[in-house]
Structure 1
């Protein structure tokens, strides 16, 4: 990946930060407090503690976008096939309730509206390792980082600088919701929107930001706990107010386990009384076993030549753990024996959890713990994925009264929105728009597991700022 322009700009920004008076304890605390006030938090914890955004060259982002869109399209094919193919549904790990939900046809419109790919950057390339299509978080991070981190004095060259731009995934989300609602048959020019999730979730601050953004664009919007929803057979409502469009953030598995299939949201979805995005058809997209379908030659006929090429280059070898033989590096091997013999090459993951819970890195796990995990993996429907060696980055932070460089692992997690090809026709395709940049001291870079975030700035190398570093 090309880095000359981004490295030059990063050096300039770090030199400005190192200048006398550029950062002190009071300014850093004000920076954290601004995050708390605006909602750039997980629970009560400010999410951005590093003092430079991630800089990426325009051409590198374009390469990522092309690959991300092909992989999202391929995963959608897996999910659509799993709805009508019991063997693939079993392979992916859909429960009976999830199959029943996925079989409901919610009407016209895109199959899914928004997803977030988790991507590792390595020297010379990148790999997609998971897809979050049930309740993808982080869409407002970029906006809030531009209001907090990017407002710091040492980052002045990034504000409106020639050859620089920042993405706006929150706007892409609203655009995708509007287009999907219209294609579904919605008639309201400004539909009412309910953002539905449990009241006590750690991402509630993000939901408030989204509600404010949607309201500012003319939509009556409010955040609704699933228990506040009512359905009378004609309309979905909360507190007596009709809901036209549901931006669903409640996780399918949690909703069904806690409230069952006769919940008002599910009944209104079944009867097409409200547009729900993402639909309940997308659950298979969110299963980590969908990546096993991508990389298993048995399913290659599902995909287009462009999708197969993207899979071959950017998806690590992945399998559902079970007794028996499988193809690995051009030969047939016993899967369990392979995982035990080549422990340091693999990651074990639960098929249907989130927040980094239950992930075991073979190269960091004691052998006895690994053996037991592999032994139990088949019963727990775990996924084995070949290791993708992620790059680290050195980013400045403020600690003990000083600016320090810290080496961190980072994920670049592209957001993919299903958008109309043309305004006049209801043909939808995945389009990448922005990304969540996660930072962590460990190789499991997850906000729920204590990680943080920073912003994304896209650099056109031919036009980027080249001024000398100056004192602030």
Structure 2
């Protein structure tokens, strides 16, 4: 049975007179740990083949290992040369390097589309500042608590991986270095003003962790102080900081170093550990995907590695002043292929600086290529997401939606998934912030494990 067949069966049962399935989304919305999050939910979960998700996850882990090897492979260990290609400024680089080791743990959320044949990677989102862990966990758990869906899941061998439980295991293992034999005290630290902007997301995160039997404190960098080589929130010693800020905030805010100095001292003394280091942002830089994709950069890759990259990653090219000098025809190629390409600024996230070629005229596209080349950007082949068929619970009509899947990963591997979805044809960027009708959706895989299994 394929995921498409499971979807068809679900939609048929959804339409049946007296079906409880149309109420699933409302149950999710009212789930206690999701109350702090005020977003909307798709009328049904999405379904994928367990084998397909597992194979993509394995490829992703190998690809991240390749990412971590880029400074040595391509630049002979010259970190300064590496960061200049990525367009990392002096201020951001200072913040990254002062916090120590370059290679971070494999922890984050990969974003991908399914093109109807396979998953294609769009971004790696390495680092603990990547969100969605709690939303994914609680949506899936809440959905499975509806008896009608639980019955459907048993009959069709549907299961999920609970991302928050994977976070708990990662934090316990990491925190044991400074808190052997006891539960580590973990504090999530936002930048100054961050709780105002992202508080509902982090309250959702805290609530989900507590539901899984693990507590976490929420604070901003201005709320903590250092004493005797460790970080404190009031009188509470912090063993592990779960980082929710990025190097740009340190470098760009006046007094940024003063705000971060207590954490830096505690981190260097070893009394408080930082999960994850700021170097995660180096390898999450979008230019790394161009280094993987462009044959002119990957001469040190094996044939198997090249096949892996080409299987997972769309055609991606680096666009900066040095790249244009090396390949003067690159702009002309991007102009000719405008309706197939999307532009993304290397060091920005959240859709900031994205220019969608197929939604842009020639003059605007040329200007974007020229302007963003100075800052550093990539151009990437368009991936057309497959249509997800969803029955509207009010009208009964079948609608087409497009999904951006998020795959969570820890050092132990795949840690679950979820999706952001928008109506098909509503724009080239699938974003909760940019679409009034955008929704979140739980993702269940058709498992090879016993029916209804949950990892």
TM surpasses 0.5: yes
d(CA) in 1 for partners of 2:403, 2:211: 33
SS at match of 1:273: coil
Alignment of 1:309-388 (within 5 A): 309-323=307-321, 334-388=329-383
Offset of residue 171 of structure 1:
1.1
Q: 1:173 to 1:396 in 2, by over 3 A?
A: same
How do 1:452-467 and structure 2 match up within 5 A? 452-460=439-447
1:409: how far off? Answer: 1.2
Distance 1:386 1:60, change over 3 A: same
| Conservation of the 8 A alpha-carbon contact between 2:99 and 2:278 | no
SS of the residue corresponding to residue 169 of structure 2 reads helix
Q: TM-score, normalised by structure 2?
A: 0.85
Distance in 1, matches of 2:228 and 2:299, equals: 42
Q: 1:29 to 1:133 in 2, by over 3 A?
A: closer
Q: Are residue 117 (structure 1) and residue 110 (structure 2) matched? A: yes
- Tell whether 2:4 aligns with 1:11: no
Q: 2:430 aligns with which of 416, 429, 445?
A: 445
The answer (yes or no) to whether the contact 2:359–2:428 under 8 Å persists in 1 is no
Cα contact 1:409–1:443 (8 A) shared by 2: no
> Matches of 1:254 and 1:146 in 2, distance apart?
33
Q: Where does residue 131 of structure 1 map in the other structure? A: 124
Please say which of residues 84-93 and 297-306 is displaced more in the overlay: 297-306
CA contact (8 A) 1:117 1:129 kept: yes
- CA distance in 2 between counterparts of 1:286 and 1:320 reads 14
> Alpha-carbon deviation of 1:253?
1.8
1:385–1:188 CA distance, 2 compared to 1 (3 A): same
> What are the equivalent positions in structure 2 for 1:10-409 lying under 5 Å apart?
10-22=7-19, 27=23, 30-31=26-27, 33-34=29-30, 37-39=32-34, 44=38, 46-48=39-41, 50-78=42-70, 84-104=78-98, 106=100, 111-134=104-127, 135-152=129-146, 154-161=148-155, 163-182=157-176, 186-187=179-180, 189-198=182-191, 199-200=194-195, 203-215=198-210, 219-232=214-227, 234-258=229-253, 259-262=255-258, 263=260, 264-301=262-299, 303=301, 306-323=304-321, 334-398=329-393, 401-409=394-402
Gaps of 5+ in 2: none
CA distance change for structure 1 residues 158 and 177 in 2, over 3 Å: closer, same or farther?
A: farther
- The answer to whether the Cα contact below 8 Å between 1:102 and 1:280 also exists between their aligned partners in 2 is yes
- Tell me which residue corresponds to 1:428: none
The worse-fitting range, judged by mean Cα deviation, of 192-201 and 157-166 is: 157-166
**Bigger mean CA deviation after superposition, 259-268 or 243-252:** 259-268
By how many angstroms is 1:362 displaced? 0.8
Distance in 1 (alpha carbons) for counterparts of 2:4 and 2:448 = 10
Question: Which of the pair is proportionally richer in strand?
Answer: 1
- 2:409–2:415 Cα contact (<8 Å) kept: yes
Q: What CA deviation, in whole Å up to 9, does each residue of 1:396-446 have, x standing for no partner?
A: 333xx3333221111222112113xxxxxxxxxxx1221232212333112
Cα gap change, 1:147/1:22 in structure 2, threshold over 3 Å: closer, same or farther?
same
Partner Cα separation in structure 2 for residue 218 and residue 388 of structure 1? 40
Question: Quick one: structure 1 residues 151 and 216, their matched pair in 2 at CA, closer, same or farther if it must change by over 3 Å?
Answer: closer
**TM-score after normalising by structure 1:** 0.83
2: CA distance, partners of 1:97 / 1:309: 36
Does the 8 Å contact 2:238/2:272 carry over to 1?
yes
CA contact (8 A) 2:267 2:274 kept: yes
Cα deviation digits, residues 90-124 of structure 1 (max 9, x gap): 1112221222233246479x722511111111132
Count how many residue pairs are aligned between Structure 1 and Structure 2.
Answer: 439
CA shift in 2, pair 1:92/1:15, >3 Å = same
Cα deviation for residue 213 of structure 1 reads 4.5
Given that 2:157 and 2:450 are in contact with CA atoms closer than 8 Å, whether structure 1 keeps it comes out as yes
The separation in 2 between residues aligned to 1:69 and 1:303, in whole angstroms, is 16
**Native 8 Å contact 1:412 1:436 kept in 2:** yes
**SS of 1:15's equivalent?**
helix
SS of match in other structure, 1:445: coil
Which residue in the other structure is 1:470 paired with?
none
Residue 287 of structure 1 contacts residue 352 of structure 1 at CA under 8 Å; is this kept in 2?
yes
